C-alpha cells in the first residue's frame, strides 16, 4: 500500500518546527528516522495532513556526556549511540541493549527519540529509559517541561506528549556506584520483535546485600512493565541463586502478558523467569566486581 496524500515541510530550526506543530496539531506528524512511521503511513493507520520532517533541524542530534550523565538529542541515530565510547561508559546498560534493536540497517536510520515517542511495548528503548530513570524534555511553542520516563508512558502506544509537544532531548542518569546491570531478550531470530525482554540493574551494599534493584520488562504489557515484586524479593538479600530464583518466580507471577503473534501468554511467563535468572546472574557478577574495585 501507499500512504494517503499529505503536505510535506522541512523546518530548519526548532522554533520553526514547534510553530508548525502548534499550527497543525493532530493533523501534523513528525518524521525523524521514519522506521516506525513509514510503515504506519503505508498501511494508512495514520493519515496526517502534514508531514513535518525534523532531519534538518539543528541541534536535535547532539550527544554528549557531562559529569557521568549521558544526554542525547531526540534525533541521535541508534547506531551512533550504540558505537559511541563515551555513551557506553556513561550508560553501559544502553550499550549492551542497543545491538538487540532490530537490525543494523534499521539502527542506522532509526532515532532514539523516535523509538521512545512511538512507545511500542515490544521496543527496547522505552524499557531502558524506565529502567535507567531517564528524563524526557518535552517542548512546545513558548514552553518546555521535563517528564520522568516512568510517567512518560501512559498506555499502549501512548505517552504524556500533548498534540503540540515534541520530545527534543533525553537525559540518561548514570547508575549508582556499586551497581551491576544486564539486558536479556528472547526472540525467534536476532533482530525480530522480542517475545520477552528485560532491562535490570541492582546495587549491593558493603555487606554484599542488595540495597536496591530495578527490573523493567518489554513485550509483556501495554508498555514498559516495572516488576516491583521481583525487585522487593531481592532487596535486603544476598543475591545468591535462592534469591535470584525467588525474584524470577515473583516476576512470572506479577506480569500480565497477553497472547500475541510472537508467543502465548503462558510462554511469555516462562520466558520472564528465564530472562530474569540470566540477567540477574550477570548483574550480580558485575556489581560484585564493581564493589571489589571501588
**What confidence tens digit (pLDDT) does each residue in 84-125 have?**
999 999 999 999 999 999 999 999 999 999 999 999 999 999
**Rounded average pLDDT over 39-48:** 92
> Using 50, 70 and 90 to split pLDDT, how confident is the model at 293?
low
pLDDT in tens, 56-83: 999 999 999 998 899 999 999 999 999 9
pLDDT recorded at residue 128: 98
Predicted local distance difference test score (pLDDT) of residue 26:
86
pLDDT class of 291 with cuts at 50, 70, 90:
confident
Relative to beta strand 210-218, strand 225-226 is: antiparallel
Over residues 190-197, the mean pLDDT reads 95
Residue-level pLDDT at 67: 87
36, pLDDT greater than 80: yes
Please, what is the average pLDDT of the chain? 96
Rounded Cα distance, 283 and 229, in Å: 18
Percentage of the chain exceeding pLDDT 90? 96
**Residue 136, C-beta contacts closer than 8 angstroms, at least 6 positions apart:** 116, 129, 146, 147, 148, 149, 152, 167, 169, 170
Domains of the chain: 7-53 (3.30.43.10), 63-172 (3.30.465.10), 179-289 (3.30.390.50)
Taking 70 as the threshold, does the pLDDT of residue 126 lie above it? yes
Amino acid at each position: 500500500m501507499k500512504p494517503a496524500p499529505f503536505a510535506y515541510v522541512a523546518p530548519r530550526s526548532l522554533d520553526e518546527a514547534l510553530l508548525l506543530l502548534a499550527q497543525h496539531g493532530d493533523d501534523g506528524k513528525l518524521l525523524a528516522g521514519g522506521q516506525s512511521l513509514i510503515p504506519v503511513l503505508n498501511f494508512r493507520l495514520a493519515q496526517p495532513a502534514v508531514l513535518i520532517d525534523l532531519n534538518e533541524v539543528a541541534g536535535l542530534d547532539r550527544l554528549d556526556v557531562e559529569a557521568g550523565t549521558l544526554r542525547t538529542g531526540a534525533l541521535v541515530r541508534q547506531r551512533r549511540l550504540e558505537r559511541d565510547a563515551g555513551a557506553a561508559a556513561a550508560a553501559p546498560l544502553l550499550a549492551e541493549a542497543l545491538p538487540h534493536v532490530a537490525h543494523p540497517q534499521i539502527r542506522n536510520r532509526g532515532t532514539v527519540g523516535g523509538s521512545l515517542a512511538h512507545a511500542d511495548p515490544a521496543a527496547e528503548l522505552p524499557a531502558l529509559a524506565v529502567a535507567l530513570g531517564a528524563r524526557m524534555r518535552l517542548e512546545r511553542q513558548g514552553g518546555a517541561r521535563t517528564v520522568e520516563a516512568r510517567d512518560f508512558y501512559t498506555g499502549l502506544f501512548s505517552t504524556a506528549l500533548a498534540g503540540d509537544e515534541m520530545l527534543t532531548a533525553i537525559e540518561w542518569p548514570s547508575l549508582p556506584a556499586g551497581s551491576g546491570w544486564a539486558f536479556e531478550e528472547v526472540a525467534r531470530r536476532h533482530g525480530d520483535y522480542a517475545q520477552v525482554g528485560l532491562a535490570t540493574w541492582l546495587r549491593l551494599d558493603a555487606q554484599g546485600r542488595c540495597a536496591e534493584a530495578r527490573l523493567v520488562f518489554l513485550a509483556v504489557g501495554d508498555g514498559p512493565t516495572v516488576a516491583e515484586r521481583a525487585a522487593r524479593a531481592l532487596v535486603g538479600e544476598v543475591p545468591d541463586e535462592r534469591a535470584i530464583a525467588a525474584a524470577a518466580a515473583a516476576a512470572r507471577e506479577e506480569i500480565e502478558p497477553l497472547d500475541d503473534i510472537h508467543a502465548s501468554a503462558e510462554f511469555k511467563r516462562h520466558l520472564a523467569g528465564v530472562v530474569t535468572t540470566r540477567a540477574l546472574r550477570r548483574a550480580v557478577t558485575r556489581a560484585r566486581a564493581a564493589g571489589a574495585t571501588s
